[in-house]
Structure 1
Amino acid sequence: MVTVVENVPARSGSAPVPALAARATAIGGSPVRDILAVTARPEVINFAGGLPAPELFDAEGIAAAYRDVLAQVPERALQYSTTEGEPALRAALAERTRARGLPTGADDVLVTTGSQQALSLLATALLEPGDTVLVESPCYLAALQAFSFAGARIVAVPGDEHGLDPDALDALTARERPKLLYTVPTFQNPTGRTLPGERRAAVAAVAARRGLWIVEDDPYGELRFEGERVPWIASHDGAADRTVLLGSFSKVMAPGMRLGWLRAPAALRRACAVAKQAADLHTPTVNQLAAARYLADRDLDAHVAGVAAVYRERRDAMLAGIAEALPAGSSWTRPEGGMFLWARLPESYDTTALLPRVVEQDVAYVPGAPFYAAAPDPATLRLCFVTQTPEEIAEGLRRLGTGLRG
């Protein structure tokens, strides 16, 4: 019998326990998670989270998939699996990727425990402390955390309303000698913007010419409301041997299944598999088999189309009311898909300082400052439009306007 003693202070005269690793104290927690904890009250209209709408989950179809695999192959579903992932799921993911224009085989895919784990595996496999990572400005917050934990030096690439500037990327790459560029080119988190096709081709050309890895994160790309699909950076000439494409079921199936994947060149994929063995051995078998069964038995594309139609109505509701809610002189994005809208208030506003006053009105947003690798823009904020109904969005924007006006 083993007795575990936790959090017992050292007795008088005893030496203290060793300190935590410096990175564990230097890297802060997620402000988004902190805000969600504060605003968990049901009366709060929460524009802060990046949560898909739970009423749109195909709970019946997902439950049937779990029942089937547990009834038919319980000895496999409940057993250890290979680190790379269940063959049936890898094959299905490869087929979906091929159908979207990128030649992919099952062996090109590594299943991860959410695409967030893919970022951690890539940081482990690619980065030495002090290596430089280029990111968008602003950037997905959890990517900044993952690269910071690896000890990377993070440098923001300048851009505009269309995304990062390839000329600035070229200049920074020549000067900083970075190891990788991380980008969410489609319906970016936090801005909702989409990088145009010609810029994607230019990014691929810079990477090929300068010697740079590209990590292309695409959790939102299937949630398109309007406009034409823009091909992945990974599909452009010069990108095949240096681009890692990340995908996820969190926004299109269910985040609680914690299923993501990466498509990467062989040597890097193998290195990520070794890192995964050290992290969690493999992604839960039952979840992988249930997802594979769901893809075989159901039409995920049709389901996603239905979700996107609802999200479009909710985006439109936010766009319809935002001008009245925000102060004169504000600006905001008009995303063609995804989950987020990004706004900038006039120079005199600080959205971090204003948040407590806004929360008093039972509404919440995420201040923009934490999304910046360099000097933050304190007048920015992120609004998630998918979790509330159009009526709730209208009321939330009314409360937001009241809070901002003080």
Structure 2
Amino acid sequence: MHWKYSRRVQISKSSTIREILKVTEQADMISFAGGLPAPDAFPLAEIQTAINTVLESNDIYGALQYGPTEGYAPLRQWIANYLSNRDQISISADEILIVTGSQQALDLIGKALIDVNDKVLVETPTYLGALQSFNQYCPEYVAIASDNEGLIPESINDEVASSAKFLYCIPNFQNPTGRRLPVQRRQTLAAKAKQNGLVLIEDDPYGDLDYQGQRLPGLYTLVPENTVYLGSFSKILTPGLRLGYVLANKQFIGKLVQLKQASDLHTPSLTQYIAYQILSKNNFLSYHIPKIRQLYSTRCQYMLQSLAQFMPKEVSWNQPEGGMFIWVELPENINATELLSEAINHKVVFVPGETFFAYTEKNNCLRLAFVTVPEEKINKGIKILADIIKHRMHLQQEKL
């Protein structure tokens, strides 16, 4: 049988990270690859209690029934209240759409805004999952210059800003680099967006994972009329619930609702009811998020110490203030993708950096995820990786 696939399917590619994760199923593999939250941060007791409460309540039939596309009303209201209190801005539940993980939000936004060859601005590098989602709609990417503090707003000229459909960015502890955009750059970007009518897609799955608990103002608080904000419960509850949300003006939310109805009708009611039970009881996040921050901060510092101890001086990396990732740059003549094959043979796996670039791929970078790895394995894995890099550098030197 010859399947007559659509052009969309013909140009689609598997996620490099998902393919790499298959290797991590080996029990003796030390994985710095997956951007997975730490299982020991999952609130198991609260989840169990919430499930029992929902199953034993009068609302059980609502939890097991079809629901509104916009999402479970009490959960939407909780999100609106939470964001309003956290960021000192007035938000209505009508501006909230519950989605099946924030990855679905990226797909809906692509459907809503991108026509073939439309300009879409992205950071350098950027989140692979966003590129995968947007690629279906055949945009023309414009890679925005970035440095160790994130994207450089001044590199977006007025012509590019006014002609683009939107700019996609992760201001807080970006995937893959772990960078956080400074306040001044946020303000400059917001002003440029307002001046040129540029839509900002602010993806924020890591914003609550600031190790010091010092959150910077979101783009949607600086220029709300231009910003679509994406939030997720995957990193602060558990990804298995598959719950995210979109905050935007009511008109845009209405368009996304129409598209979501054609996609999956609504996000599963049961997981929404469970999440609401957890989030709405005893000010849950006020004590749960600090636990995650402490765990991740400890593992981050341990990896930074291991990098400093074992890596050659020619290798550099950032010092994250939060989140789940460290971005490593190797000497220019060391190819991280080629390095990966050798690392896997030594039971260590990471994600090569080139997969995160829309254009002008850099092949001497890699992403290390540290939050799921115990300290002793971090130390062992970084030493193995450093030894492989040193060996590669020695071989390169012999060729000269």
Q: Same fold (TM over 0.5)?
A: yes
Task: Return the letter of the residue paired with 1:105.
Answer: S
In structure 1, what is the equivalent of residue 326 of structure 2?
Answer: 341
C-alpha separation in 2, matches of 1:21 and 1:202 = 41
Instruction: Count residues in correspondence.
Output: 388
C-alpha separation in 1, matches of 2:347 and 2:273 = 41
C-alpha separation in 2, matches of 1:326 and 1:379 = 15
Task: Return the letter of the residue paired with 1:376.
Answer: E
Matches within 5 A, 1:103-252: 103-171=90-158, 173-174=160-161, 177-226=163-212, 228-236=214-222, 239-252=223-236
C-alpha separation in 1, matches of 2:176 and 2:159 = 23
CA contact (8 A) 1:173 1:210 kept: no
State the shift of 1:227 in Å. Answer: 6.7
State the shift of 1:210 in Å. Answer: 1.0
Task: Return the letter of the residue paired with 2:128.
Answer: L
In structure 2, what is the equivalent of residue 66 of structure 1?
Answer: 51
1:2-48 CA-partner distances (Å, limit 9, x unpaired): xxxxxxx3xxxxxx44x211221212111000101022101111000
Task: Return the letter of the residue paired with 2:303.
Answer: M
TM-score normalised by structure 2 residue count: 0.94
CA contact (8 A) 1:137 1:159 kept: yes
C-alpha separation in 2, matches of 1:145 and 1:271 = 22
C-alpha separation in 2, matches of 1:228 and 1:260 = 23
Matches within 5 A, 1:76-95: 76-95=62-81
In structure 2, what is the equivalent of residue 5 of structure 1?
Answer: none
Q: Do structure 1's residue 264 and structure 2's residue 251 form an aligned pair? A: no
C-alpha separation in 2, matches of 1:172 and 1:323 = 43
Select the residue among 15, 30, 42 that pairs with 1:45: 30
Task: Return the letter of the residue paired with 1:395.
Answer: K
C-alpha separation in 1, matches of 2:315 and 2:270 = 48
Q: Which runs of 5+ in 2 are unaligned?
A: 392-400
In structure 2, what is the equivalent of residue 364 of structure 1?
Answer: 349
In structure 1, what is the equivalent of residue 398 of structure 2?
Answer: none
C-alpha separation in 2, matches of 1:334 and 1:328 = 16
CA contact (8 A) 2:352 2:366 kept: yes
C-alpha separation in 2, matches of 1:141 and 1:316 = 25
State the shift of 1:104 in Å. Answer: 0.8
Q: Single out whichever of 66-75 and 113-122 deviates more from structure 2.
A: 66-75
CA contact (8 A) 1:326 1:345 kept: no
C-alpha separation in 2, matches of 1:162 and 1:297 = 37
Displaced runs of 4 or more, over 6 A: none
Structure (1/2) with the larger helix percentage:
2
In structure 1, what is the equivalent of residue 263 of structure 2?
Answer: 279
CA contact (8 A) 2:158 2:196 kept: no
C-alpha separation in 1, matches of 2:21 and 2:159 = 36
1:263-309 CA-partner distances (Å, limit 9, x unpaired): 01111110000010001000000100111111122412311110110
C-alpha separation in 1, matches of 2:333 and 2:110 = 37
C-alpha separation in 2, matches of 1:170 and 1:66 = 51
**Cα 1:185/1:400, change in 2 over 3 Å:** same
Q: Single out whichever of 23-32 and 378-387 deviates more from structure 2.
A: 23-32
In structure 2, what is the equivalent of residue 380 of structure 1?
Answer: 365
C-alpha separation in 2, matches of 1:160 and 1:36 = 28
C-alpha separation in 2, matches of 1:324 and 1:353 = 24
State the shift of 1:395 in Å. Answer: 1.1
For the residue of structure 2 that corresponds to 1:89, the secondary structure is helix
CA contact (8 A) 2:80 2:93 kept: yes
CA contact (8 A) 1:148 1:154 kept: no
Percent identity of paired positions between Structure 1 and Structure 2:
41
What is the RMSD computed on CA atoms of the aligned residues? 1.3
Task: Return the letter of the residue paired with 1:208.
Answer: K
State the shift of 1:179 in Å. Answer: 0.5
C-alpha separation in 2, matches of 1:109 and 1:387 = 31
**Cα 1:109/1:227, change in 2 over 3 Å:** closer
1:104-144 CA-partner distances (Å, limit 9, x unpaired): 11111000000000011111111111111000000000001
Q: Single out whichever of 150-159 and 84-93 deviates more from structure 2.
A: 150-159
Task: Return the letter of the residue paired with 2:331.
Answer: P
In structure 2, what is the equivalent of residue 34 of structure 1?
Answer: 19
Task: Return the letter of the residue paired with 2:179.
Answer: R
State the shift of 1:96 in Å. Answer: 1.0
Task: Return the letter of the residue paired with 1:127.
Answer: I
Q: Single out whichever of 135-144 and 161-170 deviates more from structure 2.
A: 161-170
For the residue of structure 1 that corresponds to 2:173, the secondary structure is coil
CA contact (8 A) 2:173 2:206 kept: yes
**Cα 1:371/1:229, change in 2 over 3 Å:** same
TM-score normalised by structure 1 residue count: 0.93
Q: Single out whichever of 181-190 and 150-159 deviates more from structure 2.
A: 150-159
